[in-house]
Amino acid sequence: MFRLYKGLPGYFKRRKLFQLMLLIILLGGMILFYATGYIMYGSPKNLFTVMSILLALPLAKVSVILIAVFPYKGTDPKAFSEYSEQMKFGQLMAELAITNPNLPTMWAVYAFVHGRDIILFTKDRKEQKTDAATTKKQEEFISGILAASGYQVNVKAFPSEDKFRNRFRDLTVRELSEDESLDTVVISRMLSKLGI
């Protein structure tokens, strides 16, 4: 029930909740270790303080992940199920925030993989329009990562859901061969690993 699956609606909501719980547990553990050592020995110079300090690194990691996923909103599960019902072939994913060190994070509301074709419905989290050049660079980044693994893919990001839906309908009716089905599964997994 609480498992975190990238690419499914509700992932970011569950991820935020999970990271927040970890943050509270680690912070509580730090305070508990420090207070226990101080109460027992009357000084912060003890092994409990060292244990408290050792919890700082996992606490920082959890904090960074929470900050990274916090701005992203979830996808409507009803809309996702409507797309899933229309789909005959391919793999549909939702809620992917694909990061690139040189470009802004690409927030893919939906991603559809069909053989070696990937289409994305992207939205800016600040509701600003991403220019075409940046979108093209993000598409090239994704295709470059997959090409390094031996998969030559066609990536197209659509800022409009209507354009995404039209291309989705065109792709999903074409039947996949056995090799293309295998490529779809592998490429979907690789794409989900690019997201946070």
Instruction: Out of 52-66, 107-121, 122-136, 167-181, give the one with best mean pLDDT.
Output: 52-66
pLDDT confidence of 60, banded at 50, 70, 90?
Answer: very high
Question: Residues 98, 103, 104, 110: is their CA dihedral positive or negative?
Answer: negative
Please report, for residues 23, 60, 61, the alpha-carbon distance to residue 67 in angstroms, rounded to integers and kept in the order given. 11, 10, 10
pLDDT confidence of 138, banded at 50, 70, 90?
Answer: confident
Stronger pLDDT, 173 or 168, i.e. the higher one? 168
Residue-level pLDDT at 1: 45
- Give the mean model confidence (pLDDT) for residues 102-110: 78
* Residue located via tokens 């990061």: 99
pLDDT confidence of 36, banded at 50, 70, 90?
Answer: very high
Residue-level pLDDT at 126: 57
- Give the mean model confidence (pLDDT) for residues 178-195: 78
Question: Residues 19, 22, 28, 30: is their CA dihedral positive or negative?
Answer: negative
Evaluate if residue 154 carries a pLDDT over 50: yes
- Give the mean model confidence (pLDDT) for residues 85-90: 79
